[in-house]
């Protein structure tokens, strides 16, 4: 009798053999969601300026909806984090232009944690009725948190800031960046839901899901009458001065007197053109942030340079200065009258961590003294909105980094600004995408509050933006230039201006309601088992 390989009653321990090809296919299948999450984040980045591919944000969120559907919290956290890295690593690469990759990688890694938390929430609500609505609200809630913590927040990369060229832009006038961002994200998640249901042959449900795509588009069309460039309070002729800098990078102000001289020279050149009839005479002139890094209140030579420029052009100038007053270092806009000299000031309120002040200074200094050397002294914060009366026009000042913060722009409009100026200094970031990202923010702000926005920048791109978000003039980068234009002045407050933070709070409450429902459903399901 022939013996068998296994004894009677003993289980067969042989296992089915898998080929290397099948094992590789299995690994790829497991990696597909992770790869899709990261690549869809990259797709969202590509939708941002300087490209005009705003519509790519919709498929980016559609793919994110696919990879997160039905996932547990751990998978939601990991996939959300990969999406955040795919988006933020390329978006924020400019932060490492002069200081190396360390700060850039750290910033992207920290900010992606907020996206990861949103991924957990989106995964949790993905099986609820109306999932796209809950998911889009959760995304906005994540942006709201990121705009506030840590270190007063970092709103850079809000979805709304990638939509300056898009069909959804009029929604900024309805509810600001939260409503604009919500509409874009809702479209993406709604597209995923509609495709998913259509593939499963649930045509009726797919048609209902398509409402999540259609309603934001229809809403944007309906909001179009809120967008206007008509003059309500007359017009003003403004001059935007870009003086350029001696060199790009962190050493841009190593020759601080040169930066001031460049801006004075460009103003005097414009004054000569006005005198010769080659350029229209402006009602007032706008200089950028840091156009005088020499304190003109403490240095007679700097004051003399500005006096000469103001006398040459013969109209008020808003000068960006670094001022040491009463032991406080201030990033200040100074209203300089050609006859009276400095008559008003605005101190920047939202100062930049690691650029204008150093959080946790003693701890960071103990780890690496590079930062403490770069930021040797902290700037102080201003406390009041800045609205200059310039030749009868109320000009609201929003200094550079402040343009990313909803409250900082709105406060100038509610304080009476008929137009907005965003004086900035982008010389530190060379020819990176940073200046284009910031310019897009200013375009969104123009529509949000229905105001002309001027962007005077030390090294470019300076621009004049109409209340409907159109750029009518702009400069190149690292050239001396001036822009002169008659612009409309407006006093109407949009719904977004009047409502302020209310739409954002409402969407955060919707997000909380969706998460609460999902958690409750999960608890009931476990009890039933």
- Which of the residues are catalytic? 289, 348, 400
In this structure, how many other beta carbons lie within 10 angstroms of the beta carbon of residue 525?
Answer: 9
Q: Measuring CA to CA, which residue among 150, 151, 120 is closest to residue 135? A: 120
DSSP string, 85-103: HHHHHHHTGGGGTTT-HHH
* Nearest Cα to Cα of residue 310 among 271, 277, 278: 271
Burial class (CB in 10 A: 0-12, 13-18, 19+), 449: buried
| DSSP H/E element including 417 | none
Tell me the helix, strand and coil percentages in the chain, rounded to 5: 55, 15, 35
CA distance 75 to 82: 11
Nearest to 442 by CA among 426, 415, 466: 466
Distances (CA, A) of 487 to 226, 230, 279, 399, 464: 18, 9, 15, 20, 9
State how far the Cα of 490 lies from the Cα of 438, in Å rounded to an integer: 23
24/3 Cα distance (integer angstroms): 38
Both ends of the chain: CA-CA distance in Å?
52
CA dist., res. 476 & res. 448, Å (int): 26
Q: Tell me whether strands 387-390 and 341-347 are parallel, antiparallel or unpaired.
A: unpaired
From CA 170, how far away is CA 447, in angstroms rounded? 7
Whether 289 and 260 have beta carbons less than 8 Å apart is answered as: no
298: Cα within 13 Å, side-chain hemisphere: 12
Q: Is the C-alpha dihedral spanning 30, 31, 34, 35 positive or negative? A: negative
């Amino acid at each position: 009798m022939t013996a068998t390989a296994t004894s009677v009653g003993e289980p067969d321990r042989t296992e089915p053999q898998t080929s290397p090809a099948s094992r590789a296919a299995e690994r790829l299948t497991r990696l597909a969601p992770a790869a899709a999450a990261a690549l869809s984040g990259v797709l969202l980045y590509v939708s941002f300026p300087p490209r005009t591919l705003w519509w790519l944000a919709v498929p980016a969120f559609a793919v994110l909806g696919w990879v997160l559907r039905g996932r547990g919290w751990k998978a939601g956290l990991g996939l959300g984090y990969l999406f955040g890295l795919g988006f933020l690593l390329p978006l924020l690469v400019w932060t490492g232009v002069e200081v190396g990759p360390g700060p850039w990688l750290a910033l992207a890694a920290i900010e992606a944690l907020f996206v990861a938390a949103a991924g957990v929430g989106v995964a949790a609500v993905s099986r609820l009725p109306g999932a796209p609505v809950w998911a889009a609200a959760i995304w906005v809630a994540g942006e709201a948190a990121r705009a506030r913590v840590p270190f007063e927040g970092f709103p850079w990369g809000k979805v709304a800031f990638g939509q300056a060229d898009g069909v959804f832009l009029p929604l900024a006038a309805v509810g600001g960046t939260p409503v604009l961002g919500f509409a874009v994200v809702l479209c993406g998640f709604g597209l995923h839901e509609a495709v998913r249901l259509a593939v499963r042959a649930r045509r009726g449900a797919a048609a209902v899901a398509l409402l999540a795509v259609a309603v934001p588009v229809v809403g944007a069309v309906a909001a179009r009458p809120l967008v206007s460039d008509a003059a309500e309070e007359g017009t003003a002729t403004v001059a935007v001065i870009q003086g350029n800098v001696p060199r790009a990078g962190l050493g841009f102000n190593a020759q601080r007197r040169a930066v001031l001289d460049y801006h004075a020279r460009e103003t005097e050149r414009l004054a000569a053109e006005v005198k010769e009839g080659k350029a229209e005479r402006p009602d007032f002139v706008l200089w950028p942030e840091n156009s005088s890094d020499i304190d003109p209140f403490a240095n007679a030579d700097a004051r003399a340079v500005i006096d000469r420029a103001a006398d040459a052009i013969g109209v008020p100038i808003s000068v960006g200065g670094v001022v040491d007053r009463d032991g406080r270092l201030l990033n200040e806009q100074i209203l300089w009258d050609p006859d009276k000299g400095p008559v008003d000031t605005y101190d920047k309120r939202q100062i930049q961590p690691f650029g204008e002040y150093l959080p946790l200074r003693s701890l960071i200094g103990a780890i690496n003294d590079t930062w403490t050397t770069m930021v040797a002294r902290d700037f102080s914060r201003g406390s009041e909105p800045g609205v200059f009366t310039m030749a009868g026009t109320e000009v609201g000042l929003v200094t550079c980094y402040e343009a990313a913060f909803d409250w900082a722009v709105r406060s100038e409009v509610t304080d009476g600004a008929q137009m907005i100026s965003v004086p900035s200094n982008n010389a530190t970031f060379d020819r990176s995408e940073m200046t284009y990202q910031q310019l897009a923010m200013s375009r969104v702000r123009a529509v949000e509050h229905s105001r002309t926005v001027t962007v005077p920048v030390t090294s470019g791109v300076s621009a004049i933006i109409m209340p409907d978000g159109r750029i009518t003039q702009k400069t190149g980068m690292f050239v001396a230039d001036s822009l002169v234009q008659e612009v409309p002045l407006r006093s109407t407050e949009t719904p977004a201006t009047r409502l302020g933070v209310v739409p954002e709070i409402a969407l955060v409450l919707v997000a909380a309601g969706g998460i609460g429902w999902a958690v409750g459903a999960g608890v009931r399901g476990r009890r039933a088992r």
